[in-house]
Chains A and B, each alone.
Chain A
Amino acid sequence: MIKIEQLKFGYSKRKILFNHLNAEMSIGKVYGLLGHNGAGKTTMLKLIAGLLFPWSGKYSVLDFIPKERNPYFLQEIFYVPEEFDFPSITIEKFIKLYSVFYPEYSKDIMNEILADFELDTDEKLNTLSFGQKKKFLLAFAVATNCKILLLDEPTNGLDIPSKSKFRKIIARSINDNRSFIISTHQVRDLDNILDSVIIIENGEVIFDKTTDEIQNKLVFRKVKYLDDDLEVLYADKELGGYNIVSRNVNSEETKIDLEMLYNAINANKELVNNAFN
């Protein structure tokens, strides 16, 4: 579905972001794209959407070359950027003008999500708060039924109840025919909705595993003392003990702590990746 091979891209010859980026993503999954500031998460989403063009390398999305911006490709992909603005029109008018471009657009899904987010179609888009605008764009993105949804920091600007609603909407909207790729810093907002975690650092994918693989190989828990028997890969000291990431030697099933996982990989990516071999 998305194949990226030896992709090279930079904003200038002095600042090359991706030197030989490789990644593969399949359909029917929710991907979490993590990485520190400037790692290239947004750039990767823009490359997939066809908003940026790579310098070299092979890549295809749904068998299209994104940089060609083929209208049939654009019908199947929706990008929700971190920052955006709307024209001075009502929600209803926007839906009327833009929904016609997406053959699989569902009015029922749109109305359902708008009701979830408590948005009224009579409201003018430019008078909404940033959070409300984001809710509307997320609702529209999901309602287009595009095969690939690229969400850049989707929970930025959302209030706490809306973050929870967002997770529910993502969980109920994913199916075998579509994929969501979510880039975020706020890893806790993606709790329980990811099928796969991709971490980018220095222009390379340094970690790419499904949540099943992570649960099979790693354990996330809190302990009072650090013990050699625990096979600790990463430990974070906090009041009353340690939060640890360790090898899953006893086939335990623990809830993935994305923040701990991210910190563990940041601290020692080889050690964590070795746990999967």
Chain B
Amino acid sequence: MNRYINIERFTNLVKRELYSNMKRNLLVIVAMFSIFTISVFLTFEFGEEIKSKITFEKFHSMAFLGMLFTGGAFIASFSFIELRNKITAHFYLLTPGSSFEKLLVNLVISLLGFTVFMMLFYFLYSQVFNWVTSAIYGYHFSNVNFLQTDLLIALQVFVSVHSIFLLGAISFKKYPVILTPIFIFLLNGTLFAFVKMSGFFVFGNFDFNNHLFTKEMFDLMNLYSKIIIFYILPPVLWFVTYLKLNEKEL
């Protein structure tokens, strides 16, 4: 008897979650691709002709990341959606499954599943897109390369952003997709103001950007922030989400 993880229970929870949120998730994906396609073709039709080599090379990578982050924010925010309504929340909380399994289900669907789905779907979409744009406008966009370093780093950032939205999904009862970025913006603003004010009180008008830190120190700080954002932030936020789910009362 394992009260934390059981494969059969986990599979049943995945099926339940997929079925419950399938329509909503598909709607987001369809809406996103439709809006993107319409706006791009309107730009091609009425905008200036594209000549830049970089645009042809980077177009699909940027479009893929744009849609991955946008769709990911929405789909992560749909996690724990039943908990936002008192009359549906008891079903969710009392469905036989551990809080760990319920968290894992959302990670598998909205993070891993969505990313893999987007890679496959975007690849197919880009093939059709390239064929059509080549036929109509004579444009030749490069295929998206999922193994290029910049894209892999962006995927790591996506994992961190996803973990923030997942925590937002369980923290905000309404509109988490809007309230999460607002909260992060305000939090960052507050922290920035605090650092600036502390710096002013300690150092006065001393320009510490130019004089206090050496290049080596900046590189080190850069490395630390990468470690924090990529490797520490997501597990910490997943753990906080787990605790919040565990402590949820009705």
Contacts and interface: CB of A to CB of B under 8 A. Distances in A.
On whether the two chains bind one another, the answer is yes
Interface of A: 46, 49-53, 69-72, 74-75, 77-79, 81, 83-85, 87, 89, 93, 97-98, 100-102
Nearest to B5: A71
Interface in B231-250: 246-247, 249-250
B96 A46 contact: no
Interface in B69-107: 85-88, 90-91, 93-99, 101
Which A-B residue pairs are the 8 nearest by beta carbons? A74-B96, A101-B96, A51-B250, A75-B96, A71-B96, A100-B12, A85-B87, A70-B3
B8 to A, nearest CB: 8
B249 A74 contact: no
B3 A101 contact: no
Interface in B201-250: 246-247, 249-250
A46 B250 contact: yes
B1 A74 contact: no
Contact of A51 (B15, B16, B249): B249
Interface string B1-13: 1010010010010
6 contacts: A51-B250, A71-B98, A81-B90, A97-B15, A98-B95, A101-B12
Question: Chain B interface secondary structure, helix, strand, loop or mixed?
Answer: helix
B20 interface: yes
A128 B200 CA distance: 65
Given A51-B90, A101-B9, 13 more contacts: A69-B93, A69-B94, A69-B246, A70-B3, A71-B98, A71-B101, A72-B1, A74-B94, A79-B94, A83-B86, A84-B90, A97-B12, A101-B12
A182 to B, nearest CB: 17
B121 interface: no
Interface residues of B, number: 27
Interface of B: 1, 3, 6, 9, 12, 15-16, 19-20, 85-88, 90-91, 93-99, 101, 246-247, 249-250
B88 A93 contact: no
Contacts of B247: 53
Contact of B9 (A71, A78, A83, A85): A71
Given A71-B6, A72-B3, A84-B88, A49 B15 contact: no
Nearest to B19: A97
A52 B250 contact: yes
Given A70-B3, A85-B85, A89-B19, A101 B250 contact: no
A81 B87 contact: yes
A77 B90 CA distance: 12
B129 to A, nearest CB: 33
A65 to B, nearest CB: 12
Given A84-B88, A97-B15, A53 B96 contact: no
B96 to A, nearest CB: 4
Nearest to B11: A100
Nearest to A100: B12
Nearest to A80: B90
A74 B97 contact: yes
B20 A87 contact: yes
B18 to A, nearest CB: 10
A79 B12 contact: no
Contacts of A100: 12
B65 to A, nearest CB: 32
B16 A98 contact: yes
B98 A77 contact: no
A79 B16 CA distance: 19
